[in-house]
Chain A
């Protein structure tokens, strides 16, 4: 069974631009969540989607948004990029029911210059 797949793996953007990252969950998983990892703040929860609805959200500004499609695939978008948005962005999936284990992808490395 394929794991969580994230694209692109690496990208460089300029301050002020926007970026879209993509995530394909494990087959059959309906919940997708996103995390940001930086050296200073560690791993932080961004948001979680289930059946195309955002169910939970971390403490990030509105520049960070996401969506989920009917096939459970998800995208996250960061607008008006800042240098501090440089990070590893991780997508994770789970079946979505109570107590289910969350599995992570390998992440997308974003560098903002």
Chain B
């Protein structure tokens, strides 16, 4: 799987949009970008994924650049419960592929 680069930590004020960047410059054409988050001591929670178009669901939006070398996860109105480690993962199409987790971004929502 391609490697991803994320900032180690970020702060965001409660109620504001949290924008989490991810670089995946070696992504190949059939690899998806997945985002998960992990709240302390819990299992990772799936957030969203995309191939090349922007995606939105009830939790977040995913913006992927046209060259697909980077993406941004947007939490539109961050709450204290969004404090977590966010992982950006690039995954191939194979159903057997394990997920390769990096260190992620520790997002801290400030009251």
Q: Footprint of B on A, CB under 8 Å?
A: 4, 31, 33, 35, 42-48, 50, 55-56, 58, 88, 90, 92, 94, 96-107
Task: Tell whether, in the assembled complex, residue B95 and residue A101 are in contact, meaning their CB atoms are under 8 Å apart.
Answer: no
Q: B108 CB to closest chain A CB, in angstroms?
A: 19
Selected interface stretch from B16-24, B44-52, B60-68, B74-82: B44-52
Q: Which chain B positions have C-beta within 8 A of A58? A: 98
Number of CB contacts from chain A to chain B under 8 A: 63
Contact (Cβ within 8 A) A56 B44 = no
Shortest CB–CB separation between residue B99 and chain A, in angstroms?
A: 6
Residues of A near B99 (CB, < 8 A) are 35, 43, 45, 92, 102
Most buried by A among B91, B101, B102: B101
**Are B95 and A96 interface neighbours, CB within 8 A?**
yes
Q: Bound state CA distance, A96 and B93, in angstroms?
A: 11
Complex Cα–Cα for A92 and B96 (A): 12
Q: Are the CB atoms of B101 and A48 closer together than 8 Å?
A: no
Whose C-beta in chain B lies nearest to the C-beta of A54?
B96
Q: B102: which A residues are within 8 A, CB to CB?
A: 42
B94 touches A98 (CB 8 A): yes
List 18 A-B pairs, Cβ < 8 Å.
Answer: A31-B95, A35-B98, A35-B101, A43-B101, A48-B98, A50-B95, A50-B96, A55-B96, A58-B98, A88-B41, A90-B43, A94-B95, A97-B95, A102-B99, A103-B46, A104-B36, A107-B42, A107-B43
